[in-house]
Homo-oligomer: A and B are copies of this chain.
């Protein structure tokens, strides 16, 4: 059960509500986000929610039987929009493209790619500076200095930044240079990181785990939301299966299902989702048709020379063609 409290609720009113719940054997969690104040209760028995709904200080009350609560569509039918400022809004009325290299490699690379984004009308650039790598001997990214360059160049061109955060201690140092914190597939269930991201007022994109279930992704999002941050997106990036003809199995089914179960925007990652450059555009378009609210795509001016993931990275010509196709589909999707 989710109880939306009035913004000006009196403490005594809140205590009354909690007392009422306790009297019914229900524990409630008190949740403050940037925007709202909620009580979330795990209810195992029948209770007439109308008796709660009538209490002073209650704005609304909803029954939510899912394991996740605040990220559920069951209480919030209207899709969440995330406003990054400067007119950049992620949400249902607009398929948002984010693009950029797997890894930030240096100023020249950032400049070239950011210029391409400007040319293509894309407002958000991706690029890793902290890179999770299976092997300790692989390139692990340029770190915070890389991020600062990334920030300066993008700000000057009016481009927003999404980049991966790998641990709690990085949040503070990254905060000023990031528009969207990305939680990678290996950290989907890094609950301390999720808790900490719940405490900052900055948009967060959570990738589905390597073999994470849809339900687990939604519960991970619930961590961030219930810790206070409503500015959340979900990302389908392919799951691990037995098939070895491509990198991951892009779970196209997950898109309509996430849209049905949650009010949060759903972003596709076709680059990791298939992992084969020549097929990335088709999967991007398919995810758009399936209902995704956006896509995050790897591009590079010279994919063959990229520090990482070159095999799944589009060059500028391929990217421009993709942008054209997306624009054509926009008409149809409406």
Contacts and interface: CB of A to CB of B under 8 A. Distances in A.
A191 B134 CA distance: 8
A171 interface: no
A29 interface: yes
Contacts of A222: 135-137
A241 interface: yes
B134 A67 contact: yes
Interface string A270-309: 0001101011001101111111000000000000000000
A210 interface: yes
A135 B256 CA distance: 23
A255 B276 CA distance: 13
A251 B241 CA distance: 10
Contacts of A67: 134-135
B244 A136 contact: no
A274 to B, nearest CB: 5
A252 B270 CA distance: 11
Interface in A149-188: 166-169, 186-187
Given A241-B242, A250-B252, 16 more contacts: A68-B135, A134-B216, A134-B219, A136-B191, A166-B191, A167-B192, A167-B193, A186-B191, A209-B210, A244-B244, A245-B254, A246-B253, A257-B276, A286-B287, A329-B332, A332-B332
A214 interface: yes
A189 B132 CA distance: 8
A99 interface: no
A109 interface: no
Interface of A: 29, 40, 42, 67-69, 132-137, 140, 166-169, 186-187, 189-195, 209-216, 219-220, 222-223, 226-227, 239-246, 249-257, 260, 273-274, 276, 278-279, 282-283, 285-291, 328-329, 332
A291 B278 CA distance: 13
Contacts of A245: 213-215, 253-254, 257
Given A252-B250, A282-B290, A211 B213 contact: no
B252 A257 contact: no
A211 B29 CA distance: 32
Contacts of A253: 243, 245-246, 249-250, 273-274, 279, 283
A168 B169 contact: yes
A283 B289 CA distance: 8
A221 B256 CA distance: 32
7 contacts: A136-B226, A136-B227, A239-B241, A241-B241, A243-B253, A256-B274, A332-B332
Contact of A166 (B68, B137, B192, B246): B192
Contact of A289 (B210, B256, B285): B285
A249 B251 contact: yes
B187 A190 contact: yes
